[in-house]
Structure 1
Amino acid sequence: MMSGLETALAEASSPSWTQRVRAGRDLASFADVPEAAELLVGLLLDVEDTAVTRQTAEGLARVGTVAAARLIALAVVEADGNQTDWLQTGVHDALVGPDGVPDVAATCAKLAQDQKEAVQRAAAAISAWTDPAPASGPPQSC
């Protein structure tokens, strides 16, 4: 019988989007395991279904570790505009979820010293996603 990690690793490459979604959620807690990390970045950048991107980003944001945040940042570096929107939505889903979530901005701040400058920039962008203030400027009056 396969362990939970082995099952999730196998599901990550499934043709079924529902199995890939499950794999993203299940693998999130293994963000610091190299073989899981590689697959998680692939799931974050899933080209076939945005639900996989969104749910994997949410799962990693809920884990809240530096390793998990770094994987989201690595995906942001490679993502196209549509994928970035779904990554942001997944992070937002974690923030507004009923169970609460670790401080994503504080976790991303720890990536400011990452060896890759692109990861540093992406982590700053993710941190900005967590800011409740509107990014489009000051509120306008009616």
Structure 2
Amino acid sequence: MPEMTSALKAALTAASSPSSAQRVCAGQALASSADVSEVAEALVGLLLDVEDTAVTRQTAEALTRVGTVAAIRLVALAVAEADDNQADWLQTGVHDALAGTGSVPDVAAACGKLARDPEEAVRRGAADIWAWADGTRS
């Protein structure tokens, strides 16, 4: 694995900050590195943040904007573990990304790949995200 950059290390540190604003920034900074195992763990923690729904929402939005299978897989994992309130904010974050301006990655394609994931929780979460993404297009 390539050595972690100082920016990535700083964002990982911010992910566990007591400041929700710092955690929001960390989620946004880490989203593009969702395929790095230490980063993935931190991102799932941010998606399931128990203190501030803004952290959940904005991390979900950032990961959806990245749109890679690795990024959407983390959102799917969080959806499967989330309580109803967290799931609502995860859905809002996904919607924010898909409704925003600019190019949006093909989230449905990522969900299609995740439908065959060996982990049942990922398959379940991906099905929810696929339904949410489908709802934004109609």
- Which band: TM-score by shorter chain? over 0.9
Structure 1 equivalent of residue 123 of structure 2: 120
SS of 1:124 mapped into structure 2: helix
Matched, 1:75 2:57: no
Identity over aligned residues, as a percent? Answer: 70
C-alpha distance after superposition, 1:105-124 (max 9, x if no partner)? 11111101101112111101
Contact 2:95 2:136 in 1 (8 A): no
Give the ranges of 4+ consecutive aligned residues of structure 1 lying more than 2 Å apart after TM superposition: 132-135
Structure 1 equivalent of residue 39 of structure 2: 36
Aligned-pair distance for 1:134? Answer: 9.7
Give TM-score, length-normalised by structure 1. Answer: 0.90
Match for 2:108 among 105, 110, 115? 105
Superposed counterparts of 1:1-142, under 5 Å: 3-132=6-135
Q: Against the structure 1 CA distance between its residues 133 and 18, is the aligned structure 2 distance closer, same or farther, given a 3 Å change threshold?
A: closer
1:30 and 1:128 mapped to 2: Cα distance?
Answer: 25
Q: Which has the higher helix share?
A: 2
Which stretches in structure 2 are left out of the alignment for 5+ residues? none
Contact 2:64 2:71 in 1 (8 A): yes
2:60 and 2:137 mapped to 1: Cα distance?
Answer: 21
How many residues get paired? 134
1:5 and 1:77 mapped to 2: Cα distance?
Answer: 27
Structure 2 equivalent of residue 140 of structure 1: none
Amino acid of the structure 2 residue aligned with 1:57: A
Question: How big is the alpha-carbon RMSD for the aligned residues of Structure 1 and Structure 2?
Answer: 1.6
1:65 and 1:87 mapped to 2: Cα distance?
Answer: 17
Which stretches in structure 1 are left out of the alignment for 5+ residues? 136-142
Give TM-score, length-normalised by structure 2. Answer: 0.93
C-alpha distance after superposition, 1:56-94 (max 9, x if no partner)? 000000001000010001101110000000000000000
